[in-house]
Structure 1
């Protein structure tokens, strides 16, 4: 990406890395291999892996992440990557501000929280093992920059635009929160079976992928993309498809347990938003996915 052309606004950024804990009480950071094991256990037991992960990675009630001194051994936890993340957030804000204004709506900007290892949110406690996430209760995107190391070394998805795709996807969830889509989906999930609830989650995630693509479309029009950027995002989308993650965990693919969509679906919906630049083309709830 052409970072030299992008503005950098820190007004919506909270950097909590200096005060974040380096582990969770009673255990350490759960690795991607550990996540894979939990997913397999959940599938074998017929449980939702997301629920099991939530229990594994939750601190005891009333506790906070413990703080320990020591170096941070992540190649991407530095000022340069922070600057790129902030610039991505700034540009997504500009893009969605314009889109909302054109449709007569008011856009409210989310905040980005940078942390290390563990963080307290309005949605509860979480560790870095959950990956980047959006909390609708406080309209904040939470990110441990070390996740980008995992993307590169463990998922085989390197590149600055792959990282930007991750941020844009989480901002996509913010758009769903503002428009009421996520609330409607979560309410519906309480009324249906687990399998149907998972299917709704897949559509929600694919729409966020499409919204990320919409931002990418406008970034390309501004001349911010370079050769190979699109491929980086597609490689990342492929790497985090539910079917690919399950295969890499050494288990058979179980579609009823999907919560984010297959690799093919994630790539297709990101590309749909990227090609069209039209948020109206991102209605995964009416489309045949």
Structure 2
């Protein structure tokens, strides 16, 4: 991925040296019991499309609380163009900060263009918080063990860069574009928040079975993968990718499928417990966003789409 010497986002809050320290996951629920609405207008049509065939009674909170069960994704240190391998200190630390700032800037460019074009409204950029070990957010106290996450309550992404090494080692998904995919996925949850999908989930939550919770969680996670594919499509169109980048992202998507994770950790799969999607599903939805780069192609809520 061609990232050196390019624009870095100014929306990065580096808390690693402040002592205020707080995972890749779904959007986390606020400890106050709700999420702040995005307040974006002119998007009712898209929400209607994305929520078509949604069965009322499925609890969107399942997705938001799914973060607390841990999310099987953590990126490795930037590997392209000589990226460093240290997550907090050492010679690679500054490289890593610059890398994530460039990737965040790329997502800003993608969505700043897509929102006026497809939704007739402006994109509100999120902030990315870098932390070590623990930190506080509008969604409460978080630990690095839970993985990077997005908090709807303050519209911020939270990432402990120590997870970058784990993606390469534990999940066998090396490469800088695999790492960038992690950020793009979390930004995908921010897009869901802005267009009203996450607030709508929260507003219709009710009594749910575990199966209903898991199904809704899968739909939201796969849509975030599709939105990450839209960013990848935009990056490809701009000539920012290098040979093998797309394969890195697809491999990462496959390696963190629920079925793959369960086989690796326990030797067998329990489909009823899936809450992020299978390897095949995650790859397929990332490819779908990559193919055309359109929001309307990312309707994971329609019947038969999983």
TM-score between both structures, scaled by the size of structure 1: 0.80
Name the CA distance, whole Å, in 1 between partners of 2:254 and 2:185: 14
Match of 1:178 among 178, 189, 194: 194
Determine if the alignment matches structure 1 residue 6 to structure 2 residue 2. Answer: no
Output one character per residue of 1:64-120: Cα deviation in whole Å (capped at 9) or x when no partner: xxxxxxxxxx72331101101000001101110111111311211100000001111
Name the CA distance, whole Å, in 2 between partners of 1:55 and 1:212: 22
Partner of 1:75: 86
SS in 1 for 2:241: coil
**Contact in 2 for aligned 1:189/1:196 (Cα 8 Å):** no
Partner of 1:36: none
Output one character per residue of 1:250-271: Cα deviation in whole Å (capped at 9) or x when no partner: 1531222111101110011001
Determine if the alignment matches structure 1 residue 288 to structure 2 residue 295. Answer: no
Name the CA distance, whole Å, in 2 between partners of 1:120 and 1:215: 28
**Contact in 1 for aligned 2:134/2:142 (Cα 8 Å):** yes
Name the CA distance, whole Å, in 1 between partners of 2:66 and 2:295: 33
Alignment of 1:51-90 (within 5 A): 54=68, 75-77=86-88, 78-90=93-105
Alignment of 1:51-200 (within 5 A): 54=68, 75-77=86-88, 78-102=93-117, 103-200=119-216
SS in 2 for 1:14: strand
Q: How many residues align?
A: 247
Name the CA distance, whole Å, in 1 between partners of 2:94 and 2:255: 26
**Contact in 1 for aligned 2:66/2:275 (Cα 8 Å):** no
Q: Larger relative CO (CA 8 A, sep 6+): 1 or 2?
A: 2
Name the CA distance, whole Å, in 2 between partners of 1:230 and 1:52: 27
**Contact in 2 for aligned 1:161/1:230 (Cα 8 Å):** yes
Name the CA distance, whole Å, in 2 between partners of 1:281 and 1:288: 11
Partner of 1:35: none
Determine if the alignment matches structure 1 residue 16 to structure 2 residue 15. Answer: yes
Name the CA distance, whole Å, in 1 between partners of 2:230 and 2:188: 9
Partner of 1:210: 226
1:190 Cα offset (Å): 2.9
List alignment gaps of at least 5 residues for structure 2.
23-61, 71-84
List alignment gaps of at least 5 residues for structure 1.
25-47, 57-73
